[in-house]
Chains A and B, each alone.
Chain A
Amino acid sequence: MAKLNIDINGLSLKNPVLTASGTFGYGFEYSDFVNLENLGGFIVKGTTLNPREGNPYPRMAETPSGMLNAVGLQNKGAQYFVDKIYPALKGINTNVIVNVSGSSVPDYAKCAEMINELDHIPAIELNISCPNVKEGGMAFGTSCGAASEVVKAVRDVYKKHLIVKLSPNVTNIQEIALAVEAAGADSVSLINTMMGMAIDIKSRKPILSTITGGLSGPCVKPVALRMVWQVAKAVKIPVIGLGGIASAADAIEFLLAGASAIQIGTANFIDPSITQKVIDGINLYLDENGFDDVNQIIGLINK
């Protein structure tokens, strides 16, 4: 039994397995299938200052080895989270992380400030990379200036661990990562979904109500892995890797590329017990290959 615990710039995880925002609800949805306290942590769905109804149906299209979604940050707002969701989450003995999104810099900051008051939320993941909202979201994550501005504003009011979630829909992800690191991020997570689209040739119309959506699933994994490797080499802060991870082997690839922790997203939809299987599989891999601590394999290909 190898040591699985990880310290990400002060954020202590039992193991490197987290879940990706928007794929794990508020955790409860999965409690019939996994013991939530066995996870390194889980990242609850994107929360915005004000409630959002999200985009019209249809919001999803299956594509080769992947899926497109255009949910559009449907959520009941930060106050609802504080009043109704947080009380049920705070007793769970693992890291419950809130994904924070917004359509303006003051909205992001106000939302982060509200979450900062919650004792049992040790970190937020700042979503500057959602491709499915008209204003904000990805717009903040695709230029160094805008990314830096929103991270600085949140850093001023948010005192705990600040993860910034990066968009793959950029020409140079290293530059964006360096900009958010300089602006005060404690870690970065990547990748959010890639912009894509699908057309129904019978109706001759786009499948998604929004025409374009975010691509996730096994098809994005090689791109995600490449970007994690690039960013891990560029920045000094820890990198959390995600994008198409569906097995322990996939997770280990990300750790070897330089990710200090990983998130499982779309794979939760196919096997709601996948997170435990990935934790067990990482442990087995370490034992079988003579490692006694998961830290020994992080970024190993770069050494």
Chain B
Amino acid sequence: MKKLVDFNIEENIAVGAGCFLLKLHTDEQLPEILPGQFVNVMIEDAGVLLRRPISIHYADAKKGILELLVKIAGKGTEKLSHIAKGENINILIPLGMEFTMPAKEDNVLLVGGGVGIAPLYYFAKVMCDNGIKPTLLIGTRSAGDIILKEKFSQVADLYYTTEDGSYGEKGYPTQHSVLLNNFDKIYTCGPTPMMKGIAAYANKKGIFCEVSLENKMACGIGACLCCVQDTKEGHKCVCTTGPVFNINDLKWQN
């Protein structure tokens, strides 16, 4: 069940790397919210027509809590970054399909690039609650772009790559030595070239792999057919068939 819900801004924290963390609360009853799903956020500004799709960084539906980790990428997110404590925003929640929950005995690798780490926190948190501690490999440009390290360290074993070598291993996540370990399931969210690299790695080793895509959207509910991804079964809406896709369903060249 999808709902239009008014949330109150409890905190808006600049966390670095051009990102901000919104902590939201509502007294309205929320439907079940699963890791990997997203929301469509109304931006109250004459210059912004459409809602903005944003992944769910953390949610506790029973307590009316929602957290969004957002990178300023255009005028919609720029406007959103100025929203202040006490203001309300209208959110269409929850949208899309979730990550496939791994089994308890699975060795799980999460790979996030840039703000693609946002949905991986909620996923890792739910996994931890279910007795699975995942490995999380994060790629950034440099040490200065690393955000929320302490928070992520509570739900995953962290590894980093930086493009300039200023923190962790130098290079891209696809080059990190942690990939020499054996994993049963891999999940990734971030820039497309990084996700394609991880997908190619998973494919070569025959490991289950899901990716979270972020095509441009209008409605977020499968009506407008704007956000389509070319899959082995033709054009599929990222907002309803995805945003999480198994790499075997995509037409990515491996």
A and B are interacting partners: yes
Partner of A272, one of B1, B4, B46: B4
Identify whether the interface residues of B are mostly helix, strand, loop, or mixed.
loop
Q: Is the CB of B223 within 8 A of A30?
A: yes
- CB contacts under 8 Å to A, within B31-66, are 42, 46-51
Given known pairs A33-B4, A270-B42, the reply for A74 and B225 (CB within 8 Å) is yes
Q: Is the CB of A67 within 8 A of B47?
A: no
- CB contacts under 8 Å to A, within B216-244, are 216-230, 234-235
Chain B residue with Cβ nearest A60: B226
- CB contacts under 8 Å to A, within B71-109, are 92
| Residue among B48, B222, B228, B234 with most chain A CB within 10 A | B228
B215 at the interface (CB under 8 A from A): yes
A23 at the interface (CB under 8 A from B): yes
A156 at the interface (CB under 8 A from B): no
CB distance from B154 to the nearest CB of A (A): 34
Residue tally, chain A, CB below 8 Å to B: 34
Task: Using C-beta atoms within 8 Å of the partner chain, give the interface range for chain B.
Answer: 20 to 34
What residues of chain A lie closer than 8 Å to B234, measured between beta carbons?
53
A62 at the interface (CB under 8 A from B): yes
Q: Is the CB of B49 within 8 A of A23?
A: no
What residues of chain B lie closer than 8 Å to A25, measured between beta carbons?
221-223
A63-106 vs B, CB cutoff 8 Å, 1 = contact: the mask equals 01111010100100000000000000000000000000000000
Chain A residue with Cβ nearest B226: A60
| Residue among A33, A45, A60 with most chain B CB within 10 A | A60
A29 at the interface (CB under 8 A from B): yes
A-side residues, CB < 8 A to B, are 22-25, 29-30, 32-33, 45, 53-54, 56-62, 64-67, 69, 71, 74, 217-218, 266, 268-273
Q: Can you list 5 residue pairs at the A/B interface with Cβ under 8 Å?
A: A54-B228, A57-B230, A71-B226, A74-B228, A270-B42
